[in-house]
Structures are given as structure tokens and as C-alpha cells.
Structure 1
Amino acid sequence: MSMVKKRVFSLERYRMECGQEIPITIGFETYGQLNEIKNNAILVCHFFSATSHAAGKYSTNDIETGWWDALIGPGKAIDTDRYFVICSDTLCNIQFKNPNVVTTGPRSINPQTGKRYGTSFPVFTYRDMAGIQRELVRSLGIEKLVAVLGPSAGGMQTMNWAVHYPDMMEACAVIISGAQTPVLTSLAYLQAAIDAIVLDPQWKDGAYNEGEEPEAGLHLALSLMNLAAYQYKWYDDSFSRDAKRDVISPSYQSIPPFVQKFRGAVSERMLPYDASHYVYTARAAMMHDISRGFPSLEEALGKIRARVLMIPCTSDLLFPPQYSRQAADIINRKGGRASYYEIDSPNGHMAGVVDTHLFAEPLAAFLRGQDIT
């Protein structure tokens, strides 16, 4: 098991899609070795609540490896004996309290005021992230990537790369994601999550102090996302009812054991999360629409020159397969080269992270230049 180190990338000024310019600093990690002619690099983009820690460990004492360690490493699908792999933290990374995350967002200090940005931080998009990652990649002396890929919000970043920087990659793989975030997902799990946080009395328009954070709102926001991340059977198994213990209490304030278990799991997961960063990231995911600024979705996807692989999951509630199929069909109609590979898993949206064995072989073949049928 190789040990990895967090590295830091900064830009004195970056012009966001919304028109505002700010200095940015993000963390990134690399795996494998960049060859002399610098043509073996792959960019991996992380999902909504993840970080740049995609593979390996920081120390031998770490219990867990990076979130895509099953795919990234020597001899694996994203073979670090062959490829140099890069993964960066996003702006407004949700895990702001994680000591291994380096990100710029509303809880960062505005150098012009010496105070936290708060809600004065400009709205960011995944098009912005693609642009920042492009500057990171070029700072390493890399002019063209073997591929850009990622699951969920990582797929959103990948789509922006493919459309806005079409000559900078040979291929891109979009896992459990698509060209546009479904409206239902945007309303039910993203905007509703934002509402849950900003309605918390502790929100204070994002100007809350440490120790006085809108934890109740953040807990509800994260609960909404978690409730759509897997499929029904996973919840039945993980938070099953127990008829011997589930008695009817005369008080509505009584919480059934299976609900308590779910809430406890959410509370544990949210420890490194920050509410305002969650609001900004949810907004970025909600506004993902690759056709923004183009006459149509067809025109946007027609810009893609890279080979494309769309990998949806049959049971995905957040990004149902029809959205991946639609994007692949449009790309091919516009003269592009898109493959479609559907995986079948009971783990819903999270299959793109926890069931990598289902698509590891076709992904490896795709990265070697093969079309997947």
C-alpha cells in the first residue's frame, strides 16, 4: 500500500462563471509517476461529499483507504504502473473540517476583509471547477490528458471538461451522472437540503460562529441526500425494524429504534462537514446543466471530441439511467463516439463508489482505447 501526500495549488485570481474574481487554493493528490513526455496523466474528479483522497493512505495507521482505491493503483483498472493520476479537492468542499482537505469557500478568510467570506463568497459551478483543474493540470506541464473521469458530481466536472476543453483529453468516463442534473433530484434532495440549512435559526445568513453552527439543518440536509443514495433493500437491511422492540409510545416525541439508528449514522458522517459549504456545493450540483450558454443540449454535447463512456446504475434514484442513455445517444447523433455500459446493483447511486468491481474491466479497456458495447 503506497502512502500519499496532500499537495496544494493556488491561483492569485480566478474568474468564476458568475463574473467575480477571487484567489483560490485547493488540495490535490497524485498517484503513479508522470512520464518524461507527460502524456500519461488521468484526472479523477470526486463526488459530492468526497475529497481528493481517491486512493492509498496517508499513513500506515489509517483504517480506510481513498474512496476509489479499488480502481486506482498498480495493476488496477486505473493502473498507476501505466498512468499518472491526479485528484483535486473542489471549491467549497463539504468536508471543510477535515484536516486533510484544502479548499476555498464561504468559511475561508477573505484576504480583502480579514474575515470569513460567508455568503459573500461567489456562487461556484462545476464549470468553474473544470477551469481551475485545467490550470492545475497545466501547472504540472501537462497539455493533454489520457482521460477525465469521476462518479456523480465528479461526472458533472467531467462533462464540463469534455464540452469546454474538448482538445485536452482523449477520453472521458461519466459514472452515475449525466449532462444535466434531473429536476426532481435538484428539487427534492438539493434545494430542499439548502432550505433545511438556511431555515435553521443558527444559520444567521451564513455568519455563524464555531460551536454555534446550524447542525440541525445540516443533519436534515444530509439525511435527504442519504435517503436517495441507495436503494430500498439497503435501507431495509441497514435500518431494519424490530417488531419486538418497536412499541407504540403515547408520545409523538418517541423515536423508533430504526430511526434513531439512521440518525446516529448521519450524525457520525457529518462530523467533518460544514453547513455553508454544503449549501454552496448543493447549489453547484443543482445547477449542473451542460447546455447553459448554448442554444441546446445537442449543441453543447456536439462540442465533445473525446471518446465518452457513460456508466449508470439501474437502481439509481438520483441519476436514473435514462439520463446517461440520452447523453450517449445525442453525442453519437452529433458525430461523436460514446459508449454506454449499464451496471445492475441494489446499491443505487452509491454503486458508482462501492461496486467498482461491476465496471472495473470495461473501464480499464476503455482507457486503453477500446469502445465498450
Structure 2
Amino acid sequence: MNDTQSVNATSSNDTMLVTKQVHEIEQFETFGGDIIKNVRVGWESYGELNDDKSNVILITHYFTGTSHAAGKYHPDDEEPGYWDSIIGPNKAIDTNRFFVISVDSLVNINAYDENVITTGPASINPDTGKPYGLSFPVVTMRDFVNVQKSVLASLGINKLYAVAGPSMGSMQAIEWASAYPDMVPRLISVIGTVKADGWTTATLEQWTTPIRLDKNWRGGAYYDQPPENFPNEGLAAALALVTQSALAPNFFNDVNAQLLAQADGKPDLYDIQQSPVIVQWLMERARGRTTSMDANHLLYLVRANQLFLTGMNDDIEQGLANIKAKTLFIPATQDQLLMPYHLERARDMLKANDKEVELVYLEGDLGHLEGLSGIAIHSETIRAFLAD
């Protein structure tokens, strides 16, 4: 195992500048017992690791996210990392105090993003010299956690100050607290869940259907084709479903009204080949994301989410009972994807086991995405949670 480059972000004009690091694992054994050779993942960090390595906060990312949780790679980047509003000097997760680290997941959907390093179906299988495709083993939240644990071990870190993440990152954070309770004294779970229930599992499966129906998918064996012949339309339709699932009705209705007000003319919907303006908007956004994402990777991420059960041992009560961490749950009231009941039930189950747990809500019309764009509203809550 090895890592390259320095371990902390620098600051320029109040913007943290960060460089992607590389972590390699010669042989990684999955939770399901398979071996993946030559695993490579990217990671980045903010702040400085203290002498006794006791100030580490791990950030675990969401479904379409990456390890780019805060800061910028270049001063002229259009946008900083997704939680930049709460990670940085004097912010809720204060990098003057904490060493904050985040890792690209295995099978990261952004397989063709120049700032993402991940091993998955699009990677070359060293045994065949060809992309894995669907021969890549199924991976789980525990595998994501164990890769992160390997990154931490390479830096000599054997305990966290806290772990925090939104959505799929929330699942990883919870799995950390259950799988390695002595390493995790504090847990922040945002817009998350402690298991994939029936409703969630079926919703996630719908994201995979357009890819499987795309003739260019070829049963997952499309990597010998030029990129324009990848299952791009299926991937775009899948991403449109992901986006709609992650937003709330009020947001869509407002966008629709704005589009109609700005349009030179409405599409003729008596022509069956025309699409409403809101659908055109949604699909245009989705198609714009396909160049950096991989369809097979989306399928594997969906399965990792569908398999999630805290503790990964078919016993949610025991999985939650393992947790020793002080816990902060932050669901979003208008979340249509991981609705508040998920974390409300988790809170009740933890309280029944005399665990220390707090729950506060995110309000706002972004629904699930309030956990990314609206998280700063709870800056003081998070700061106070991390204060002791």
C-alpha cells in the first residue's frame, strides 16, 4: 500500500486548494469474499494532522459524489467541493482544528472524471488485460468503509474523531460506527438511512432499467466500443431519474414555471415526439453528465445501496446495538428519496438502547439535496456536536 503527495490542503485567498492523492491496495478482499487486485482510489484532505493523530474527521460521499468534499483544485474552479459551506477554516468542521479526509469510493460513478481515481467495472482486470465489465465483484458499503480504513492505516491513523456523510455517505458513516465502534466516537448522518427497505430498494432498481434496456449496453460489455457508442442514452435517462428522486416537487414546479415564462413558444404537445419543457431541461442536464460517468458503475453503486443493512449481518437491531458513537441525525423534511422516517426510526432504535442521539431537520424545497446545498443552516448544530 502506498500514498503519494502531501496530506493537507493549502489556502489561497480564503479558498482551500487541494490536490488529489492516490492510495493503492495490492489485493483487496471484499465483504463477499472476492479478491480485487491492484485497487486504486483517490483521496484528499483539508487541515493538518496533529502529532497524536487524534483530530481526524472522515467525510464519506454521496451516490454521484466524489472525495471532493471542500476547497478547489484550482483557484479558478467554478465550484468548490460539495460541503465547502461547512468544511474549512473557522467553519462548522473547522480545519484549523481538524484534519478532514475523504476517499473516492470503489466503483465511483465518475469513472471518467480527471479528478477521480477509482477501481470498478471500467478498470482493467490485471488477469485478462481487458476491462472487468460485469465480471467485477459486487461490492458493499462495508467494502467502501474497508478501503477508507486502509487509507487511514497508511497514514498511521487508528481512530477517528468523527465520521460524517450525506445520503450514501450517511450509510457508510453508520456502517463505520457499527463495524468499528471503538474507532468512531462521533457520527453525523445526513439525509440517510440505516438500511435499504423495500421502498428504497425498488426505487433504486428503477435507476438501472434505462441502462439495461439501452441496446448499446450489450450486457455490460461495451468497453471495446468508442465512447459515443456506450449506453449513453440509457445512462442519461437513469441520471434523470436520480435527479428527480433527489429533488422535491416544489423545486420542479418552480423550475417548470420559470421555463414556461422564459420560453419563446411552448412545445406542441399534440405532437407525440415533443417533450414538455421541464422534461427537456431535466434530460439536458442528465446528458451533460454522461461524459464523466460510467453506466456499469451506476449499476454497481445501486446494488451496494440495495444491500445496505447496518452491520451487514441481517440483524438491524444488532447492527445498531454495536454503535457506541454519539450520533447526530439530519434528515430533510421534503426528502422524496430517503424520507425522514428512515432516520426517525433509527433515532428511536438507538434511544431504546440508551444511546446518545440527536435529530434535527433540514427544511427547504431542494428535498434530498438540502443535505448538500442546505447543510450550512445547521453549522452551529454541527459545531456544537463536535465541540466535546
TM-score by length of 1: 0.95
Deviation digits for residues 71-104 of structure 1, max 9, x if unmatched? 1100001100000000000001111110010000
Hey, what does 1:206 align to over in structure 2? 220
Gaps of 5+ in 1: none
One-letter amino acid of the counterpart of residue 35, structure 2: E
Q: How many residues align?
A: 367
- Asked if residue 9 in structure 1 is aligned to residue 9 in structure 2, the reply is no
Contact 2:66–2:103 (CA under 8 A) maintained in structure 1: yes
Instruction: Assess, with a 3 A threshold, how the Cα gap between structure 1 residues 250 and 340 changes in structure 2: closer, same or farther.
Output: closer
- Asked if residue 286 in structure 1 is aligned to residue 306 in structure 2, the reply is yes
Contact 2:142–2:312 (CA under 8 A) maintained in structure 1: no
For 1:238 and 1:273, the matched residues in 2 are separated by 25
Deviation digits for residues 219-241 of structure 1, max 9, x if unmatched? 11111111111111111122336
Q: Name the SS for the 1:167 alignment partner.
A: helix
Hey, what does 1:262 align to over in structure 2? 282
Report the CA distance between 1:202 and its aligned residue: 0.5
Deviation digits for residues 136-155 of structure 1, max 9, x if unmatched? 11111111100011000000
For 1:67 and 1:224, the matched residues in 2 are separated by 21
Q: Which runs of 4+ in 1 moved over 6 A?
A: none
Hey, what does 1:52 align to over in structure 2? 67
Contact 2:267–2:275 (CA under 8 A) maintained in structure 1: no
For 2:182 and 2:321, the matched residues in 1 are separated by 13
Hey, what does 2:87 align to over in structure 1? 72
Hey, what does 2:318 align to over in structure 1? 299
For 2:267 and 2:19, the matched residues in 1 are separated by 51
Hey, what does 2:151 align to over in structure 1? 136
Hey, what does 1:313 align to over in structure 2? 332
Q: CA RMSD in A?
A: 1.4
TM-score by length of 2: 0.91
- Asked if residue 366 in structure 1 is aligned to residue 385 in structure 2, the reply is yes
Gaps of 5+ in 2: 1-14
Q: Name the SS for the 1:202 alignment partner.
A: helix
Report the CA distance between 1:181 and its aligned residue: 2.4
For 1:301 and 1:239, the matched residues in 2 are separated by 42
The range that moved more, 92-101 or 131-140, is: 131-140
Hey, what does 2:249 align to over in structure 1? 232
Q: Name the SS for the 2:162 alignment partner.
A: strand
Deviation digits for residues 266-294 of structure 1, max 9, x if unmatched? 21233311111111111111221215314
Contact 1:155–1:177 (CA under 8 A) maintained in structure 2: yes
1:242 paired residue among 239, 260, 266: 260
One-letter amino acid of the counterpart of residue 313, structure 2: G
Deviation digits for residues 311-365 of structure 1, max 9, x if unmatched? 1011111111111011111112113211111222221000000001221110111
One-letter amino acid of the counterpart of residue 66, structure 1: G
1:63 paired residue among 41, 57, 78: 78
Instruction: Assess, with a 3 A threshold, how the Cα gap between structure 1 residues 199 and 365 changes in structure 2: closer, same or farther.
Output: same
- Asked if residue 186 in structure 1 is aligned to residue 209 in structure 2, the reply is no
